[in-house]
Amino acid sequence: MHQEIIRLNLGGVNAYLLKQNGNCLLVDTGGSLIRDKQLDNRRALLLQLLSDNGCSAENLKLVILTHGDCDHTANAAFLRKQYGVKIAMHSADIELVDNPTLEKMMETFRYRSALLKFIFLLIKGKITRIMQKTREDFEGFEPDILLNEGNSLAPYGFDAKILALPGHTKGSIGILTTQDDLISGDIIVSVDKPAPAPNAFDFKQLDESINRIKTMSIQTVYPGHGEPFAMKDSSL
């Protein structure tokens, strides 16, 4: 059994292509970021990277979304049409992808750091305008498959299971492989150094999810933003 996790660097946000025995699974799909000078759903780059790495409509078995934020889900509906592939995610984040409201999309703009809280208040109007534009451009969808704690991905050609890791969003999940590698979504970031997400819907749940991860024998963490890293070398 040879498992491969390929980071698709979409410029500030990651997707991951999982490959095993000729089968492909895509984790997250990219989307625009609030720091973009012009909204960019990163679709052209995503399609090119999928093609470069041998992913096609014939071998792409599933699209998995680690959570419902638009920078991870913006291309999901397009990929379903383009590849004829099903979309899977946790039910608690459906409200973020099925005709989401601006208020729902901004629920994770909550910060623990006093400095980040202050910065957010200073630029809240600008962020709100960007998110409103993002919402207008977003193609809503209903997932085909609802994922829960412990679900196996073996039926889709990859030996891994789902971990429920709420906190950043209500329905945040991770993918834990049989080789003890973790695709963490945005529960963990690795931009400057590995750290819990600076923003969250619920920080108590976020801390509980991070503490759960610490109890596991995780080898490599593949975050939603930033570089993958060895868990043993991190200070999480």
Q: Tens of pLDDT along 55-93?
A: 999 999 999 999 999 999 999 999 999 999 999 999 999
How do strand 87-89 and strand 60-64 relate by DSSP bridges?
parallel
Walk me through the domains of the chain, giving residue ranges and CATH numbers.
Answer: 3-233 (3.60.15.10)
pLDDT of residue 2: 86
Mean pLDDT of 217-233: 97
Residue with tokens 């409509």: 57
Residue with tokens 């299971």: 161
Q: Tens of pLDDT along 186-204?
A: 999 999 899 999 999 999 9
Burial 95-130 (b: 16+ CB within 10 A, else e): bbbeebeeebbbbbbebeeeeeeeeeeeeeeeeeeb
Contact between 160 and 178 under an 8 Å Cβ cutoff? The reply is: yes
Q: Is the pTM of this model over 0.95?
A: yes
Mean pLDDT of 27-38: 95
Count of beta carbons in the 10 Å neighbourhood of residue 200? 25
Q: Tens of pLDDT along 101-138?
A: 999 999 999 999 999 999 999 999 999 999 999 999 99
